[in-house]
């Protein structure tokens, strides 16, 4: 059996060359493509579609790295995997980008007209829309690119119209006058979820409203005095004794010619301010509800462009809302109506796209009734049909779903899914249907006008799991891959997108859209600050890939992706894992050099091992395989990275290869050498397959050089541990050996003994099992601790000048060639004794806690008691050694 790449491994791994070569190879082989006719069990993920305007940022990089890890893992487990890619048309964002381009040429969309403007947006999309998908390929994303979708492509557009029409026919979509969040800059409505609330330093204005009959006055407070021009009432709580005689009376509205009544409504908080609030139904959502309950008129004084209307009065009509505020406050003060102005910090709603302060305005909009859709979506999570991970997000999900409001789905822009509603110009008939009508069904008139508004971008995104698979047609893709297996997403779109997909999936597919929802945290800078261009702390994923390679970058993201904890990322951490790649590369070069000479044909299935170091590493590999599978199944990505790093660097390289070198060199006989070489190759090959989901390029580059069967590591089976490989005896013996070698190495370092100089060691050992283990492994200990000899005795009778350590309750002595520096040794032993005493105090405090003893698992309690006993023994030995030194 020959490796597929015959030339020797270069001195260094070349990430850029490897990434380009192997990604093209995988694409050419069609490994990413899913076969709906396959009999393999399905595993599917739909990508959270990035905006067509987007460029790869850290959030995308983390999200898609985790998805790719899951997809590659399941592919290697033998599943038929589908990772559905695509982009979102991002209505407001994309229209803004194209409008800015037009503005730079001295024109605008209105000059072009709707149809020509839409053509311009499509031209922009074709030119720039695929940028981010190409960047995902650089990351190594193994999406099924043959199935790439776009939320405005023909199939998805039909699905959107179909859903709108069905919901309308079922009475769940309606049109009504309602107070909405309006952006004067983007000239469109925004849903509640699209509002970004920002704490803002402003003022609280206290204004006097005099009673019409001259019997008194009422003082109200507002942060937006310009809206008082649209007040239609003053409200107080019906239980507020201060206003019992005032309810029903009229009050003069300053700076206008109108009088308004005082009404009683339980919404009013008696403990806030004076207990009296101004009511502006046309410009505040809470006031709108009060107005509906009391049948108050709605006076709109702010227009959709943010200027004051005719209703605001001659003095203010046409002014910008903030100019009006300044003039009105001055007029109120001069008229004696302004009582006082206080500094006040409050939450202000802004547009999530352009950050303009929003204006609540009453407008004719399209809405979806959400209560009926939300109920089954709540039950789906309650009953476990959908599992949200981490589980603490379920509480947040339920709170939002149980208090859900109707969804405003219409947007006053041009780019997007135009609402499939037509109006007959002759008879006024409203026509709602999937395909464009040619004539009115009532009067046969051809004078039809389509609704100008488009649908909220999130409406089409809510259909993504099934619309991308061909719905409303009953496709083979849907039959095979719906419901999807898992959704990986950020918490910020749990309600924008995840909840709405659940509602739509249950409504139109009769089943949940995914079984698991894994919610990852944010990527922040090294100090935990949110990354932003203004702070100058943004880390560009593409720059990191150019500098360190995709594998190092991916592994870093996985290593820090602890469940429910934000990632604090710094470039030096990525550089650190590039060093891990170098370690893997160099160790592989060493092993491959001996595999070639040994012409190994059995590294995939070597015979049972005889040598203890081979039994040990195969046992550790089996444990690592089981733990890695368990962590991947539980979405504990950081544990996976930690397990693989620990196993390869510390167990395979630091210990196994050092133990194995004389055998591989041929110094311990042909049979032992062949067994060790095969074992080294066997473990390396298994490790590469374990690592592949996290580091796809490096693992393919090395695996292709191994004498193994198969076209690619990507479609090789994921390692499966054999129970027969576990060897508790070898693990215990080698753990003992490592403890002794580590202690001896530490003693050498602390004493300043040169690495090349060998010294004599004595172990004072009263435990026969430990004595036997040390004796059987004395060759390993002498070689790796640089000893001339190691002697095992059962009592201390040493006259030479010695340095001591305690390992598992046994004394380890190094005999120095010259007189020991007693002062330095006393200082060293005292320092070690303090360290042991501090650790012992910590453990005893824990064991002295009744709650710990009652609630902790018994094996944990036992482990702590064993640690305590060993620390007590160490303390005793160290104290005795200090006493001997003093004597």
Instruction: Give the model confidence (pLDDT) of 245-289 as tens digits.
Output: 889 999 999 999 999 999 999 899 888 878 999 999 999 989 998
Residue 195 CB: number of other CB atoms within 10 A? 16
Q: For residue 341, give Cα distances in angstroms to 200, 207, 221, 333, 782.
A: 16, 9, 9, 10, 83
HSE-CB at 83 with a 13 A cutoff on CA atoms is 25
DSSP element (H, E) containing 813: strand 810-815
More confident call, 580 vs 859: 580
Confidence of residue 822 (pLDDT cuts 50, 70, 90): low
The whole-number pLDDT of residue 505 equals 98
Predicted confidence band at 604 (pLDDT cuts at 50, 70, 90)? low
* pTM of the full structure: 0.82
pLDDT at 597: 47
First to last CA, the chain: 67
Q: Quick check: 599 pLDDT over 60?
A: no
Spatial CA neighbour of 397 closest among 419, 378, 417: 378
Q: What is the pLDDT of residue 127?
A: 87
Per-residue pLDDT of 696-736, as tens digits, reads: 999 999 999 998 889 999 999 999 998 888 999 999 999 99
- pLDDT, one tens digit per residue, over 11-63 is 999 999 999 999 999 999 999 999 999 999 999 999 999 988 878 888 899 99
Binning pLDDT at 50, 70 and 90, where does residue 596 land? Answer: low
**pLDDT tens, position by position, 633-668:** 999 999 999 999 999 999 999 999 999 999 988 888
The answer on pLDDT for 170 being more than 50 is yes
The mean pLDDT of 465-493, rounded to a whole number, is 95
Q: Angle at the Cα of 494 (from 490 to 499), degrees rounded to 5?
A: 145
pLDDT per residue as tens digits for the range 771-808 = 998 898 889 999 998 998 898 888 876 555 567 788 88
The mean pLDDT of 830-853, rounded to a whole number, is 86
Residue 798 has a pLDDT of 54
When mean pLDDT is compared over 36-45, 593-602, 806-815, the highest value belongs to 36-45
Q: What does the angle CA 178 – CA 183 – CA 189 come to, to the nearest 5 degrees?
A: 40
Phi, psi of 44 (to 5 degrees): -135, 145
In this predicted structure, what is the pLDDT of residue 6? 66
Structure tokens at 593: 């050099």
439-448 residue pLDDT tens: 999 999 999 9
3-class DSSP state of 92: helix
Convert the pLDDT of each residue in 360-411 to its tens digit. Answer: 998 888 999 999 999 999 999 999 999 999 999 999 999 999 989 899 899 8
C-alpha span between 449 and 366 (Å, rounded)? 17
- Looking at residue 196, the DSSP 8-state letter turns out to be E
Provide the residue count of the chain.
Answer: 887
Q: Residue 2: how many CB atoms within 10 A of its CB?
A: 10
Among 852, 8, 159, residue whose Cα is nearest residue 508: 159
How many Å apart are CA 203 and CA 222, to the nearest integer?
A: 8
Give yes or no for residue 819 having a pLDDT over 60.
Answer: no
Compute φ and ψ for 407, nearest 5 degrees: -100, 120
In percent, how much of the chain has pLDDT > 90?
Answer: 62
pLDDT of residue 820: 54
The mean pLDDT value for 326-351 works out to 93
pLDDT digits (tens, 9 = 90+) for 280-332: 999 998 999 899 899 999 999 999 999 999 999 999 999 999 999 999 999 99
pLDDT computed for residue 738 by the predictor: 94
């Amino acid at each position: 059996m020959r490796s597929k790449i015959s030339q020797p491994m270069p001195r260094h791994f070349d990430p850029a060359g490897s990434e380009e070569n192997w990604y093209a190879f995988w694409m050419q082989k069609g490994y990413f493509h899913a076969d709906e006719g396959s009999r393999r069990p399905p595993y599917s993920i739909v990508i959270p579609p990035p905006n067509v305007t987007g460029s790869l940022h850290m959030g995308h990089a983390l999200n898609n790295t985790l998805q790719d890890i899951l997809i590659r893992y399941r592919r290697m487990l033998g599943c038929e995997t589908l990772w559905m890619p695509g982009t979102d048309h991002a209505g407001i964002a994309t229209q803004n980008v194209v409008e800015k381009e037009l503005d730079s040429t001295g024109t605008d969309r209105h000059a072009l007209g709707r149809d020509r403007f839409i053509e311009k947006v499509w031209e922009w999309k074709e030119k720039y829309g695929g940028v981010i998908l190409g960047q995902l390929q650089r990351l190594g994303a193994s999406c099924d690119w043959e199935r790439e979708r776009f939320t405005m492509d023909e199939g998805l557009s039909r699905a959107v119209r179909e859903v709108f029409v069905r919901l309308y026919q079922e009475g769940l979509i309606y049109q009504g006058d309602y107070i909405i969040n309006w952006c004067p800059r983007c000239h469109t409505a925004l849903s509640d979820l699209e509002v970004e609330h920002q704490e803002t330093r402003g003022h609280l204005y206290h204004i006097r409203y005099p009673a019409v009959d001259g019997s008194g006055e009422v003082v109200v407070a507002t942060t937006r005095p310009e809206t008082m021009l649209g007040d239609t009432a003053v409200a107080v709580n019906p239980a507020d004794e201060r206003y019992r005689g005032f309810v029903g009376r009229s009050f003069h509205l300053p700076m206008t010619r109108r009088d308004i009544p005082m009404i009683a409504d339980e919404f009013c908080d008696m403990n806030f301010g004076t207990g009296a609030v101004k009511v502006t139904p046309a410009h505040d959502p809470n006031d709108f509800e009060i107005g509906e309950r009391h049948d108050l008129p709605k006076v709109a004084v702010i227009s959709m462009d943010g200027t004051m209307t005719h209703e605001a009065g001659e003095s203010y009509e046409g002014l910008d809302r903030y100019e009006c505020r300044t003039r009105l406050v001055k007029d109120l003060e001069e008229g004696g109506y302004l009582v006082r102005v206080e500094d006040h910090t409050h939450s202000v709603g802004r547009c999530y796209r352009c950050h303009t302060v929003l204006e609540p305005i009453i407008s004719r909009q399209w809405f979806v009734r959400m209560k009926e859709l939300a109920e089954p979506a709540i039950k789906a999570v309650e009953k476990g049909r959908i599992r949200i991970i981490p589980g603490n997000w379920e509480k947040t999900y339920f709170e939002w779903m149980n208090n859900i409001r109707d969804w405003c789905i219409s947007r006053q822009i041009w780019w997007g899914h135009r609402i499939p509603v037509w109006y007959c110009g002759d008879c006024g008939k409203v026509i709602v249907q999937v395909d464009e009508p040619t004539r009115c069904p009532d009067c046969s008139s051809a004078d039809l006008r389509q609704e100008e508004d488009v649908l909220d971008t999130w409406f089409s995104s809510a259909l993504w799991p099934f619309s991308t698979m061909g719905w409303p047609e009953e496709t083979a893709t849907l039959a095979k891959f719906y419901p999807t297996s898992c959704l990986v997403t950020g918490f910020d779109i749990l309600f924008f997108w995840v909840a709405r997909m659940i509602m739509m999936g249950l409504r139109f597919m009769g089943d949940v859209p995914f079984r698991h929802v894994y919610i990852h945290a944010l990527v922040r800078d090294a100090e935990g600050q949110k990354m932003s261009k203004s702070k100058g702390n943004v880390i560009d994923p593409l720059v990191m890939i150019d500098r360190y390679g995709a594998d190092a970058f991916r592994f870093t993201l996985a290593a820090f992706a602890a469940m429910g904890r934000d990632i604090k990322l710094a470039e030096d951490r990525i550089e650190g894992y590039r060093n891990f790649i170098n370690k893997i590369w160099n160790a592989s070069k060493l092993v491959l050099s001996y595999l070639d000479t040994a012409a190994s044909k059995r590294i995939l299935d070597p015979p049972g091992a005889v040598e203890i170091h081979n039994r040990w590493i195969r046992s550790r590999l089996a444990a690592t395989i089981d733990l890695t599978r368990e962590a991947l199944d539980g979405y504990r990505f950081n544990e996976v990275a930690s397990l693989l790093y620990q196993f390869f660097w510390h167990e395979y390289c630091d210990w196994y290869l050092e133990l194995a070198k004389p055998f591989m060199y041929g110094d311990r006989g042909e049979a032992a050498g062949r067994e060790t070489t095969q074992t080294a190759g066997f473990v390396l090959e298994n490790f590469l397959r374990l690592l592949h989901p996290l580091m796809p390029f490096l693992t393919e580059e090395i695996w292709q050089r191994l004498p193994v069967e198969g076209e690619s590591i990507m479609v090789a089976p994921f390692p499966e541990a054999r129970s027969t490989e576990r060897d508790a005896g070898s693990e215990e013996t080698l753990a003992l050996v490592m403890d002794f070698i580590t202690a001896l190495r530490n003693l050498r370092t602390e004493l300043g003994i040169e690495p090349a100089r060998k010294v004599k060691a004595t172990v004072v050992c009263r435990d026969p099992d430990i004595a036997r283990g040390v004796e059987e492994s004395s060759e390993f200990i002498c070689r790796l601790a640089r000893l001339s000899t190691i002697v095992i005795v059962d009592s201390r009778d040493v006259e030479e000048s010695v340095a001591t350590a305690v390992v598992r309750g046994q004394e380890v002595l190094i005999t120095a060639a010259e007189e020991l520096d007693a002062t330095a040794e006393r200082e060293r032993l005292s320092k070690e004794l303090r360290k042991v005493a501090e650790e012992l105090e910590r453990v005893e405090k824990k064991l002295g806690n009744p709650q710990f003893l009652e609630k902790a698992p018994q094996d944990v309690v036992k482990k702590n008691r064993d640690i305590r006993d060993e620390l007590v023994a160490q303390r005793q030995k160290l104290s005795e050694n200090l006493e001997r030194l003093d004597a």
